[in-house]
Amino acid sequence: MKRHIFLTMLLSTAFAVPTPAQQTNATSGTQPAATATADQTTSRASSRDREPIPPPTPTNFWDGDDPNLVNLVTHPFANKKYVQRQVRPIRDRLNELDQLTSENGKTIRDVDTRAQQGIQLASEKVDLADQHATDAGNKAQMAQTSATEASTRVGTVEQMVGNIDQYKTGAQTEIRFRPGQTVLSKSAKDALDEMAASLKDQRSYIIEVRGFAPGRGAAATASSRKMADSVVRYLVLNHQIPVYRVYVMSMGNAPAVGSDGTMAKHSAGGRVEINVMKNDLVGSVQH
């Protein structure tokens, strides 16, 4: 009799337990579902290709447990295997979230590194461009200075060319020769020395040497040429007067024109007139 009563109570307890167990399973299933929903939102924000955690789908009352007496007594209580089955999807999703966080952190670091490299490269290019601009400005300034100097020199050359034939008569010396003589006397050399001394270290001058000789025709011209050549030879050899500054003219028996514009009388002997002509305008431009 007692045995029948115990079995009846045990069966009543067994049939009364499923409702709380199912409620417990439903509650446990609701919490993972809520957690899965939150994880799903985070996962969708970070990655679109991950599926949400599926809700638990119990196959029957036993939920995979063998229908025996021991499981019938212990089923309503949360055992280790039951907790592991409920927690495993959440733990897997947490691992996925950790992996996503690590990947996102790595991506952020890579983007930051590339951004810093880009900023550094841009800064170097800006510095290089500034240096090139400075060099270009310096070269432009140098070119402007060179152009100004060239323009100044061109103006100077033009002025010199314009004044190149503006010679004025300076010192005048006359060397006289005895009839038939072409050699310089002591007094003639002294006169040439005095004239040449004033031309030392001078520029922009020319010397006009004109020879006159008595007689007629070619004989007078040749004689005047010999007297003029003796004067030129003395100036070049004894006073280093450049030959290109000396202009020689053989006048023969042509009458000389005096300083007052009158014709000078012919003399018995020959003579050589020496005129030093200076160009003060060109000299001033050169200085």
Which pLDDT belongs to residue 54?
60
* Alpha helices by DSSP H, 61-180: 69-74, 80-162
What is the token pair recorded at 271?
A: 């003579």
Place of tokens 């899965």: 36
pLDDT number for residue 225: 93
Beta-carbon contacts of residue 75 (< 8 Å; ≥ 6 apart)? 17, 21, 61, 62, 65
Residue 112 CA, chain-centre distance (Å), reads 32
pLDDT of 25: 43
CATH no. for 168-286: 3.30.1330.60
pLDDT for the residue 131: 92
Res 135: pLDDT: 93
Instruction: Return the structure tokens found at 144.
Output: 């402007």
Counting as low any pLDDT under 50, the low residues of the chain are: 1-5, 14-36, 38, 43, 45-47, 285, 287
Tally of CA atoms within 13 A in the half-sphere of 120 that contains its CB: 6
pLDDT of 23 reads 41
pLDDT by residue (tens digit) across 238-287? 999 999 999 999 888 877 655 555 555 555 678 999 999 888 765 554 54
**The pLDDT of residue 68:** 65
- How big is the chain by its Cα radius of gyration, in Å? 64
CA distance 36 to 32: 6
* Prediction pTM value: 0.43
pLDDT attached to residue 31: 46
Q: How far apart are CA 151 and CA 158, in angstroms?
A: 10
DSSP state of 91: H
Q: Structure tokens of 256?
A: 């000389």
159-164: long-range contacts at Cβ-Cβ below 8 A with a sequence spacing of 24 or more?
Answer: 159/281, 159/285, 160/282, 160/285, 160/286, 163/279, 163/281, 163/282, 163/285, 164/279, 164/282
Quote the CA–CA distance of 276 and 197 in Å, as a whole number. Answer: 12
Count of other CB atoms within 10 angstroms of residue 182? 19
Residue in 231, 224, 237 with CA at minimum distance from that of residue 276: 231
Which pLDDT does position 133 carry in this prediction?
A: 93
Give the number of other Cβ atoms within 10 Å of residue 163's Cβ. Answer: 17
> Residue 87: what pLDDT?
82
pLDDT given at position 33:
43
Cα dist from 196 to 14, 173, 232, 244, whole Å: 152, 11, 11, 15
Q: What are phi and psi of 168, to 5 degrees?
A: -120, 145
> Domain-by-domain residue ranges, the chain?
1-162, 168-286
DSSP, collapsed to helix, strand or coil, labels residue 258 as coil
Query: 195: part of which helix (H) or strand (E)?
Result: helix 186-197
Residue 52: the pLDDT is: 60
pLDDT digits (tens, 9 = 90+) for 155-176: 877 776 666 666 777 778 899 9
pLDDT, residue 180, reads 81
